[in-house]
């Protein structure tokens, strides 16, 4: 698992772009033309990833599911039987919370929407997410505890074994489908919804998408989003990873 993560970090941007810059330096004397090409591609890639405008346009390719209309939240009980919120990692040892692990900001964004949907519709909630790099507690448990303590929403089921979106769907099916639950409201990031919905439909669910955290909207950044930003770099990395994941899922599953 650790080796796969290490390899992925270097094969995906921005890791591969840094490798191209290193290759350019290493080849500068022996293969100057190849070195110049590696330098140009590496630098251009990093620059494009850092531009908010490029990030927004990339997000719009992935964010194909529209948001749930607020006026439709109460009627979800006629369209689904449960709400499934997918995990998004955890923060280790947050000192503000006595050193305990906490859901990430991305997970909190998903949980907030799930809580609002649960209160509006009365639907029960399942949290899905396994161990983060093999150490407890699971993402599902952290989210369940936070939903109860911070949003006053009791989680009915926890799926605590999954490590990928595909496993989110497969292991959630093992929990819910024996209970006759096949219609779910699925809560995850807008840019993650294509892959998530596809995975859950392959697992036998009828999915009502509930995307959150849209990156493709207008962010009112200065200079039309053409100034480099560190945040855009991170977001672009997430989007590129998602694009590769979406293609890989449909190819290998």
pLDDT at position 2, please? 67
Do 85 and 180 fall within a single domain? yes
Do 146 and 183 fall within a single domain? yes
- Residue 197's domain comprises 67-212
Residues of the chain with confidence (pLDDT) below 50: none
Do 194 and 248 fall within a single domain? no
Whether 29 is in a domain gets the answer yes
Token pair, residue 61, equals 């390719």
Do 123 and 184 fall within a single domain? yes
pLDDT at position 37, please? 97
Whether 154 is in a domain gets the answer yes
Do 7 and 105 fall within a single domain? no
Among 98, 83, 253, 50, which residue's Cα sits nearest to residue 165?
A: 253
pLDDT at position 6, please? 81
* Residues contacting 251, CB < 8 A, separation 6+: none
Do 90 and 181 fall within a single domain? yes
Domains contained in the chain, number: 2
Do 52 and 75 fall within a single domain? no
CA pair distance 162, 46, nearest whole angstrom:
32
Do 38 and 108 fall within a single domain? no
pLDDT at position 1, please? 58
Whether 221 is in a domain gets the answer no
Question: Whose structure tokens read 């110049």?
Answer: 36
């Amino acid at each position: 698992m650790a080796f796969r993560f290490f390899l992925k970090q270097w094969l995906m941007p921005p890791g591969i772009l840094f490798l191209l810059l290193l290759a350019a330096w290493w080849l500068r004397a022996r293969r100057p033309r190849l070195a110049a090409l590696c330098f140009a591609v590496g630098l251009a890639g990093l620059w494009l990833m850092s531009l908010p405008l490029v990030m927004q346009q990339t997000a719009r390719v992935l964010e194909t599911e529209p948001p749930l209309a607020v006026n439709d939240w109460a009627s979800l009980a006629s369209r689904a039987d449960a709400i499934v919120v997918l995990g998004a990692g955890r923060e280790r040892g947050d000192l503000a919370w006595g050193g305990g692990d906490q859901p990430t900001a991305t997970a909190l964004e998903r949980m907030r929407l799930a809580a609002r949907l649960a209160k509006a519709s009365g639907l029960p909630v399942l949290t899905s997410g396994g161990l983060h790099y093999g150490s407890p507690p699971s993402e599902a448990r952290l989210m369940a505890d936070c939903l109860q303590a911070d949003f006053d929403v009791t989680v009915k089921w926890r799926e605590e074994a999954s490590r990928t979106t595909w496993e989110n769907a497969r292991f959630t099916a093992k929990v819910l489908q024996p209970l006759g639950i096949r219609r779910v409201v699925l809560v995850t990031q807008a840019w993650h919804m294509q892959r998530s919905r596809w995975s859950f439909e392959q697992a036998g669910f009828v999915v009502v998408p509930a995307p959150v955290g849209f990156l493709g909207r207008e962010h009112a950044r200065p200079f039309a989003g053409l100034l480099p930003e560190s945040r855009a770099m991170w977001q672009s990395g997430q989007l590129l990873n998602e694009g590769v994941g979406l293609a890989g899922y449909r190819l290998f599953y």
